[in-house]
Chain A
Amino acid sequence: MAQIDQSKIRNFCIVAHIDHGKSTLADRIIEHTGLLTSREMQAQVLDNMELERERGITIKAQTVRTVYKAKNGEEYIFNLIDTPGHVDFNYEVSRSLAACDGAILVVDAAQGIEAQTLANVYLALDHDLEVFPVINKIDLPSAEPDRVKDEIEDVIGIEAQDAPLISAKNGIGIEEVLEAIVEKIPAPGGNADNPLQALIFDSLYDSYKGVIIFCRIVEGKVSKGTSIRMMATGATADVVEVGYFGAGQFIPCEELSAGMVGYITASIKNVKDTAVGDTVTDDKRPCSEPLPGYKKVNSMVYCGVYPADGAKYPDLRDALEKLQLNDASLHYEPETSIALGFGFRCGFLGLLHLEIIQERLEREYNLDLVTTAPGVIYKVHKTNGEVIELTNPSNLPDPAEIEYMEEPVVSAEIMVTTEFIGSIMELCQERRGRYLGMEYMESARALLKYELPLNEIIYDFFDALKSRSRGYASFDYELKGYEQSELVKLDILINKEEVDALSFIVHKESAYERGRRMCEKLKDEIPRHLFEIPIQAAVGGKVIARETVKAMRKDVLAKCYGGDITRKKKLLEKQKEGKKRMRQVGNVEIPQKAFMSVLKLDEN
């Protein structure tokens, strides 16, 4: 293979707010660069299907190498590195950015800059990336490209007057973007003769090849046979294959050298060994120090995950094991609940991550799950000086042993049009937010800065934000640290029995309101029994709210017409089936739905 000229490589990503057209632009770039011959195209489709079949997942990072013939007659290699678009994956985003030399900032010509746009642009600028803007959706009637250009210059402070005006959807202005990539994004640096130094920005588990490391070669080179070492985890392995990314397929090559983006396989069994942000070096000729920025990713949100059918516990364990192969940020450990039986306490990067995992467990592994209310990690300082990191409310020590508790707090930035400032501030106030300040972006918009307890934003803050701003507010946050807080454990008693899976930690001030709403919700979810069932919310043994499920008085099938009993039987079967899907707590049967419904207290 011919030596690739470093000056002809462009490593870049696209940053944008959700829905501003990032994926569409990526698709257009791939199309316009026409990276594959028709024969390759065929192969790709087949490969893809096989891949999907074997693994049943889609490849996470849509990193693609394409070849572009520029107007100056030269051919350039574009490595388009996709970045996850959610605050839960901020760290992953930062590592993907670190693998790039430049970024295209896509801004919606009608919407302008959003909180997430800002967060991502700042991240990109922090990584010294060359950022150039493109204004998308210029064909919309509501497009205001000039206003948006000014906004970009005012708010972000990057030149925007000659930003390409495009419509990714309709293929307008794409050539211009491609030329800008060549002109504005710098070629990578690095020396192929230096010791190997490669940044892991993603990895993927393949059941045949083992872990596939996605990396940017910063210095040196790597090829089949190189003994590599992951500097943070210390894992070592011999390289089996290196290559680059076709659209959705892996194309092996001889060697990856400084400036290139590609993949390495080395029969590594677990993605835990190839942490995102870690540095790959040559074990025999190591670099002097790792690349900066590695950080161990910690779970921010925890919840209990239980199989709906207790007998499926081993299946759930296997599924989590498999998912973890691919997702080093997923943590789990076995736990037991009196109400839900055997399950796992799982840790996630955020609520979205939780939802993704839950959905994958249900869809790909065909499991019916019951999850408990998500919570954060609280630090419990005990009177004996011990500090416990609490992930399961049931494990809260006796209040007498607790000196004080701390909860995680985030710094949040909320961008909102001025008419909604009032209602958003109100929301933040309700969620125990501490107002830090406000900046006007331009006459019509402001950036609100708040400190908010993480446990106030993990369930439904985003939804509340959207509904109170008619969808106009956007939101970004990062963990700030821990703060002491007046926290209590709210217990739910059903027919006088405490249901461990329904307990959660809440701020003292919100306990009554939350308790009341939980009781109301549970009252609707728990079917009538032959006896009356009190539902109580209690803090420290003191009942603060109560509802009652009245006793069942009548449950009878009346007419059985003309001897057609099949329908009657079906009804009884349904009743019995429903019962099977209930959890027995004391002598009360609680539908699984009830456990989930209390997660959505704000829905009416």
Chain B
Amino acid sequence: MKIKKKPLSIYIHIPFCVRKCLYCDFLSGPAGDETKSRYVEQLLEEIRRESVKYDSYEVHTVFFGGGTPSLLPAFAIERILKTVASVFCMKKECEISIEVNPGTVTEEKLMAYREMGINRLSIGLQSADNEELRLLGRIHTYEDFLMTYKIAIKSGFNNINIDLMSAIPAQTLQSYQETLNKVLSLNPQPAHISAYSLIIEEGTPFYDHTPSLPDEETERELYKITNDILSEAGYQRYEISNYAKSGYQCAHNKVYWKRGDYVGFGIGAASLIDNVRFKNIENMESYLSGRDVREDVQTLSVEEQMEEYMFLGLRLTEGIQEEDFKATFGRTIEEIYPGVVEKFVKQGLLSYKPGDKPGAGCIALTDYGLDVSNVVMAEFLLSDESV
């Protein structure tokens, strides 16, 4: 009898970029060709070495993130993908995404991506206003983006995400509206839009010299019109910051929120396998030396699994199924979090849709709840004494 394989997602981190953006706190930076080359070899080595642990899995999604993965030669990406495909069992309709920055890809490169099986592009636009892009320290203009988008379509990509940012320096309600409108006037429209608001992170130039940012009222307004305008244009907000046309939700992204198994390769890459979280070391030199790269191995207790289930699951607008929680943990949400759901429903932060029988309802954040989701999520953490 054939045993059904478990789904697995793979994240591959490419920590290289042309130049660090002023707000960026991701593990990335410029590097010379030699480092890049050694890094790729090490990635291949890691993928081969680790793959033996995943015999019982079938890969459903692959995601090349960065940094700017498109900085690597197409051939390097191809070798990585081929290696993955040779040592892992791949699902037939596997979602394979790669992040690209405007101006870092040629038509040839995009064609090559298509040929090697990449079927989803994520383009970091952030803003359609060149002055705003400059203030963010981005390396491209809106015109660069238009070119990249054009050749992407030409190369046959129909599943394209565009990253946008709100609450950035010099942004006004009007300029943001324009950005949204420009993106929506693309032909064809992108299948997916990620709309984040800027968060000033420690260790970034913006943290040390915080530029003047839109005031709170404006920021709030920006946030609101994102949903208004995108809904109007036929996108569905399926996660706090993610909008998609029907059929184009990012499967890889959802794995994170639904706590599916995923393994990360490359420096700093995070994994969750069978309720064990671990991370790769962040130091490039150590990684290149090829020793065991895992650290921060944390076996999640049942309580931790439950907290994660709640606060990650609530990020998705489809919400949490009471029955699924019960099936997963053997106890009901009400048993673990007595009164919490009711309280937030009363406050208008959560919605509760009863099911066809008791205990089969669905819990989700309301629109207002999405805006202040931290308040709700924090309440689903379990302190040691409460279980």
Contact = CB atoms under 8 A, between A and B. Distances in A.
A54 interface: no
Given A553-B371, A554-B372, A572-B377, A562 B196 contact: no
Interface string A570-602: 011101100110000000000000000000000
A157 interface: no
Contacts of B307: 569
Interface string B368-379: 001111110111
Interface string B230-259: 000000000011000000000000011000
Interface string B345-387: 0010100000000000000000000111111011101010000
Contacts of B296: 566
Q: How large is the interface on A (under 10, 10 to 19, 20 to 34, 35 or more residues)?
A: 20 to 34
A555 interface: yes
Contact of B11 (A552, A563, A566, A568): A563
Majority SS at the chain B contact face: mixed
A414 B283 CA distance: 62
A565 B258 CA distance: 12
B381 A562 contact: no
Nearest to B165: A558
A552 B372 contact: yes
Interface in B1-55: 11, 13, 26
A554 B219 contact: yes
Contacts of A565: 256, 270, 277, 308, 312
A580 B378 CA distance: 11
A561 interface: yes
A571 B240 CA distance: 17
Q: How large is the interface on B (under 10, 10 to 19, 20 to 34, 35 or more residues)?
A: 35 or more
Nearest to A573: B381
Contacts of A571: 374
Nearest to B216: A553
Given A556-B240, A561-B26, A575 B347 contact: no
Given A530-B347, A554-B223, A558-B196, A572 B372 contact: no
A563 B373 contact: no
A2 interface: no
A576 B381 contact: yes
B220 A572 contact: no
A561 B256 CA distance: 10
Interface in A47-89: none
Given A562-B65, A566-B270, A569-B308, A554 B371 contact: yes
Given A556-B240, A562-B65, A576-B383, A530 B375 contact: yes
Contacts of B196: 558-559
B231 to A, nearest CB: 18
A557 interface: yes
A340 B296 CA distance: 39
B279 interface: yes
B4 to A, nearest CB: 24
B264 interface: yes
B311 A572 contact: yes
Contacts of B271: 563
A566 B240 CA distance: 18
A553 B372 contact: yes
B264 A562 contact: yes
Given A562-B65, A563-B270, A556 B370 contact: yes
B284 interface: no
A565 B262 CA distance: 12
A560 interface: yes
A513 interface: no
B183 interface: no
B374 A555 contact: yes
B373 A556 contact: yes
B269 interface: yes
A564 B269 CA distance: 8
A554 B374 CA distance: 9
B177 interface: no
Contact of A555 (B311, B372, B379): B372
Contacts of A579: 378
B373 A557 contact: yes
B121 interface: no
A530 B366 CA distance: 14
B270 A564 contact: yes
B197 interface: yes
A552 B375 contact: yes
B264 A557 contact: no
Contact of A556 (B255, B372, B381): B372
B199 interface: yes
A572 B241 contact: no
A553 B296 CA distance: 35
Given A557-B240, A566-B296, 10 more contacts: A554-B372, A556-B371, A558-B197, A559-B199, A559-B241, A560-B256, A561-B26, A562-B270, A563-B271, A572-B378
Interface of A: 530, 552-566, 568-569, 571-573, 575-576, 579-580
22 contacts: A553-B216, A553-B371, A555-B371, A555-B373, A555-B374, A556-B240, A558-B197, A559-B196, A559-B241, A562-B264, A562-B269, A563-B255, A563-B264, A565-B277, A566-B270, A566-B279, A569-B307, A569-B311, A569-B381, A571-B374, A575-B378, A576-B383
